[in-house]
Amino acid sequence: MRKLVACVALALSTSCGHSEDQRIVRSFAEMEQVARTAGSDDGATTRPQEVGEVEFQAIYREGDRVYFKVGENGPGVDPYGYVWSPEHVPVDDSNPSVASSFEHIQGPWYRWSDSY
DSSP string, 9-22: HHHHHHHS---HHH
Mean per-residue pLDDT pooled into runs of 10, the chain (116 residues): 44 52 94 90 72 94 92 86 95 79 96 91
Residue 1 included in any domain: no
Residue 95 included in any domain: yes
Residue 114 and residue 100 in contact, taking contact as beta carbons nearer than 8 Å: yes
Residue 68 included in any domain: yes
pLDDT recorded at residue 98: 82
Residue 44 included in any domain: yes
Half-sphere exposure for 47 (CA within 13 Å, toward CB): 0
Residue 73 included in any domain: yes
d(CA 30, CA 50): 10
pLDDT recorded at residue 41: 59
Residue 7 included in any domain: no
pLDDT recorded at residue 69: 95
Residue 3 included in any domain: no
d(CA 5, CA 53): 30
Residue 24 included in any domain: yes
pLDDT recorded at residue 8: 39
Residue 96 and residue 90 in contact, taking contact as beta carbons nearer than 8 Å: no
Domain that holds residue 84: 19-115
pLDDT recorded at residue 38: 87
Domain count across the chain = 1
pLDDT recorded at residue 19: 86
Nearest to 76 by CA among 103, 57, 95, 53: 57
Q: List residues bridging with 103 in a β-sheet.
A: 111
Residue 83 and residue 67 in contact, taking contact as beta carbons nearer than 8 Å: yes
pLDDT recorded at residue 18: 59
What pTM was computed for the model? 0.76
